[in-house]
Structure 1
Amino acid sequence: MIEDTALPAELEMLMDVIRRRRSIHQDQLSPEPIPMEYIQWMLEAANYAPTHGLTEPWRFTVFSGEARRALGEAFAQSYRLAFTGEAFQESAWIAQKERVWKAPVWISIGVRIGTHPKIPEWEEIAAVACAVQNAHLVAASLGLGAFWTSGLPVRHENTARFVGLEPPDKLLGFLYVGRPAIPWPKARRKPWEEKVVWRE
């Protein structure tokens, strides 16, 4: 058991940050601004994600302050395009416009596709996911909550164009970031031993 083994100091610090990382919903964040250098540190960490062929396929756009207003309008427009007829709900449309004010920073998560003929799309998406995890770990180390949201309005092709992505590149959602307005949530994980098979 790992709990019975003393970890090297640097590894213990790293494990503490990994165990601390949480997905905290927008309704559980404070709208107060956060220092932009925090976001820069997150993106610096994201840039060191593993990437097959050094394609570095992650593409981010950061929205804060008043720029969130246009983002909310884009979410609302995408909702209207995606849900028509009886599926359209005005309350949900309004919620898409207003949700951007619940977190001080929104970061679009884009992936560049097809930059290397031998690298499949899934590997590029995996690289972007690693980049987001790196950023999320830095956020946790700074006491910030974050959440990777991937609902239809935030991934819609209209929203993708709004953040500057054109096919074949794709929008995988947004990472929103802020200070938690709730006590830091406890971890909920089953023991890793239940998910591993050893063959020696």
Structure 2
Amino acid sequence: MLTCSTPELLSLIAHRRSLKQSLLKPDPIPREQIEQMLEAANWAPNHGASEPWRFAVYAEDSRKALGETFARSYRLGVAKEKYNPQAEEEQRKRVWLAPVWIAIGMQPGGRHPEWEEVAAVGAAVYGAQLVAASLGLSAFWASGMPVTHPNTARFVGWEPPTKLLGFVYVGRPAVPWPKGARGDWRQKVVWHWGNP
């Protein structure tokens, strides 16, 4: 049986960070590192072995078409009275702030409630994020309107019932690795252990 030390695993979990695009270096990420992230994602727990996660990876020049898609999705999705040309341009340019963008899809197996399939995709993304952290990478799950709009889903190549749940953008931090903070886990647990 393969094991790792519990303290090392807990340290990695506490080490994971998701940094905003403005805090990332534009430097390319080796494809092998993205492949390691996606292999980890593929081992997520899922009910009935449905394996509902789907991914599409955009790097290098392929980001140009992705940026144009985000801009168009913004135009299509925002109310006319709230449209802002600068916001549209920001959608177009944002793809250049992170070297890798991974579309996150959920393809339901049909036998289980949708929430279970979404939870499985969430577990898959978390596995990928942990591997990213072990490699010194930030992996941020973006889920705003332009990145989840049906226009973006069609660009990625996903039609219903497959759902686009957002994008994980990956990059090396341009700032010192941030410290994390969480409230005490004991304040979030009610124990029912043993006899009443």
TM class by shorter chain equals over 0.9
Cα distance change, pair 178–14 in 1 and its aligned pair in 2 (3 A):
same
State the 4+ residue runs in structure 1 displaced beyond 2 angstroms: none
Q: Percent identity?
A: 58
The aligned counterpart of 1:150 is 143
Q: How far off is 1:116 after superposition?
A: 2.8
1:10-159 aligned within 5 A: 10-113=5-108, 115-117=109-111, 119-159=112-152
Give the superposition deviation at 1:11. Answer: 1.1
Please report the TM-score for the alignment, with normalisation by the length of structure 2.
0.95
**Aligned counterparts of 2:17 and 2:105: Cα–Cα separation in 1:** 21
* Cα-to-partner distance string for 1:24-53 (whole Å, 9 max, x where unaligned): 111110011011100000000000000111
Taking the aligned partners of 1:156 and 1:38, their CA distance within structure 2 comes to 28
Cα shift at 1:10 = 1.2
The unaligned stretches of length 5 or more in structure 2 are none
Question: Which residue identity does 1:96 align to in structure 2?
Answer: Q
| 1:134-181 deviation line (CA, Å, top 9, x unaligned) | 000000000001100000000000000111110121100000000000
* Structure 1 equivalent of residue 157 of structure 2: 164
The two structures, once aligned, show a CA RMSD in angstroms of 1.1
Q: Distance in 2 between matches of 1:91 and 1:146?
A: 26
Closer/same/farther in 2, CA of residues 57 and 9 from structure 1, 3 Å limit: closer
- Tell me, which stretches of 5 or more residues in structure 1 are unaligned? 1-7
CA contact (8 A) 1:53 1:116 kept: no
